[in-house]
Amino acid sequence: MRAFCLSFFIPLTVWAAPEDWFGIQVVDAKSGRGVPLISLTTTNHQTYVTDSAGWIAFQEPGLMNTEVYFHIHGPGYSVPKDGFGYAGIRLKPKAGEKTEIKVLRHNIAERLYRVTGQGIYRDSTLLGLDSPLPRPNLNVGVTGQDSVQALSWKGRLFWLWGDTNRASYPLGHFHCTSAWSDLPTAGGLEPSQGVHLEYLTDGSGQMRKMAPSQEPGVVWIFGLVTVADPGGTDRLLGHYGRYASLDKRVEHGLVEFDEAQGCFVPMLQLGDEFTWQHPEGNSVRVTLPEGDYVYFTGSFAVTRVKADYGSILNPGAYEALAWSEETGQYQWQKTLPPATQEGEAQLIRAAKIPVEKAHFQVTDAASGLPVIIHRASIQWNAHRQRWIMIATQNFGQPSMLGEVWYSEASSPQGPWKKAVKVASHPKYSFYNPRQHSFFDEEGGRIIYFEGTYAETFSGNPVPTARYDYNQIMYRLDLGDERLAVFE
């Protein structure tokens, strides 16, 4: 009896060594690069998802050393179907061995890696493989992050997210989170490898609240922009909103990053009458004959302000793009609200805007069907010598908010006409895309963008483990022949 009791209470911990796992790497059949976010599902519904290097570490009692069929699926990639219509592969998992599965890419954009969250290189770690990140599986407790903004400031890259999920409790961090990283030209990782995020933390080593508030509700910051103050010091500004719910804003105004406090502080509170006279969405600097401006892109770049410190802090300095019946063209002005895609469509139906002068009636270059833009990121592209837009579609197919489109125009405000779908996320959302022009390669031929991958608004009842509510990076080759419709 004594021996039984002793053995019963002895804690037993068994750690699987790398040689105890069966390694499965899913790679792009053309490039040979590992593909993240590819699911392998057994016939009894056990699902394993590749990490950012395309690896799965498999070790399942009862399914080792025997033939196992895996259904293979993942947004934008596939394997051929067999005679019964199944897309998958039959493997015989053996501890210590590795195998490779090649998938065909249908997306024009190439999925590279997950930027945020837990377990970015989980399976690679279990298999004893190296990863490009110093903290590949948990960084200051972050398990999920929503809606990224990033810009170059003070010689480094400054990153900002909205809500952040954490490992320690179901309620996350709702006052924005930030991080620094190095530029690829200044010691940072190559953009094809990843982003080494150095989170701003508080005294306890936890995520720092970047928009602290004693009032109830969540605080989000958008429209980040850097400008020099009258003394020549670069300042980081944006627009904040405090929300009681997703669609109920109770306070808003302008904020500035205070380097002494290490967070954003309110500079100007705005009344509800200021619906558009402030930074929003993604910002981009535009040089015109009359001077430098900052354009702000929600769905389209339809608000702007002179690129100086005083103007950004002055709601009366903002301009909106609106249709003028008097001149028969779009013009920048300060009285009317900015034009919208739906508003323009209504004016076209009312014969008040000629179709040939439309700026926002985006259509699928392949089918001619309309593309309703949800959110977008607009940048100048040196390779194309055009303004380019990466945008997500509202009410698209096969996902309501997961279809990503590419378009080009002669100016940041348009006209935007044709678009080509570059990435799809069936039955999932991929929203608030952000193009990172500071990562451009080969003179702008290769561009990078990321967005929030989330089951929110998708109708999908099963969130993807570890990937859900996180940022995923894509790479797009603007020399792809499928984008030749813009030439």
183-239: per-residue pLDDT in tens? Answer: 999 999 999 999 999 999 998 899 999 999 889 999 999 999 999 999 999 999 999
Buried b / exposed e across 5-32, counting CB within 10 Å, b at 16+? eeeeeeeeeeeeeeeebbbbbbbbeeee
Question: Is the residue at 130 inside a domain?
Answer: no
Q: What is the mean pLDDT of residues 370-398?
A: 98
pLDDT for 6 beyond 50: no
How many domains is the chain built from?
A: 1
Residue 87: inside a domain = yes
Rounded to an integer, what is the distance from CA 152 to the centroid of its chain? Answer: 17
Q: Note the pLDDT of residue 487.
A: 80
pLDDT tens-digit series, residues 285-340 = 999 999 999 999 999 999 999 999 999 999 999 999 999 999 999 999 999 999 99
**In the predicted model, what is the mean pLDDT of the chain?**
95
Instruction: Work out the pLDDT band at 8, boundaries 50, 70, 90.
Output: very low
As a whole-number percent, the residues of the chain with pLDDT over 90 amount to 94
280: nearest Cα among 266, 302, 296, 257:
296
pLDDT confidence of residue 342:
98
Strands 386-393 and 373-381: antiparallel
Express each pLDDT in 60-82 by its tens digit.
999 999 999 999 999 999 999 99
DSSP designation for 310? H
pLDDT band, residue 7 (cuts 50/70/90): very low
Say whether pLDDT at 2 is over 50.
no
Predicted confidence band of residue 379 (pLDDT cuts 50, 70, 90) = very high
Residue 154 falls inside a structural domain: no
Residue 56 located in a structural domain: yes
What's the pLDDT score for residue 246? 78
* pLDDT score of 377: 98
CA distance 47 to 62: 16
**Cβ-based neighbours of 482, under 8 Å, separated by 6 or more:** 108, 420
Query: 14: pLDDT confidence band, cut at 50, 70 and 90?
Result: low
| 447 within a domain of the structure (yes/no) | no
Any domain includes 135: no
Residue 11 confidence (pLDDT) above 60: no
Read off the pTM: 0.95
Residues in the chain, how many? 487
How does residue 406 score in pLDDT terms, banded at 50, 70 and 90?
very high
Between 399 and 457, residue with greater pLDDT:
399
Residue 62 lies inside a defined structural domain of this protein? yes
Report the distance separating Cα 223 and Cα 179, nearest Å.
Answer: 17
CATH of the domain at 81: 2.60.40.1120
Please check whether residue 98 lies inside any domain of the structure: yes
Question: CA torsion, points 81, 87, 92, 95, in degrees to nearest 10?
Answer: 140
What average pLDDT does the segment 140-144 reach?
97
Q: What percent of the chain is predicted at pLDDT more than 70? A: 97
- Paired strand residues for 457: none
- State the residue range of the domain holding 19: 15-106
Taking the CB of residue 57, how many other CB atoms lie within 10 A of it?
A: 21
DSSP assignment string, 411-441: STT----EEEEEE--TTSEEEEEEE-GGG-B
Quote the pLDDT of residue 4.
42
> Residue 3 pLDDT more than 70?
no
Q: How confident is the model at residue 15 (pLDDT cuts 50, 70, 90)?
A: low
Confidence of residue 9 (pLDDT cuts 50, 70, 90): very low
Encoding tokens for residue 454? 């989330």
Please give the Cα distance from 380 to 292 (Å, whole number).
14
Residues in CB range of 463: below 8 A, 6 or more apart: 454, 455, 469
Q: Which of 366, 470, 483 is nearest to 114 (CA)?
A: 470
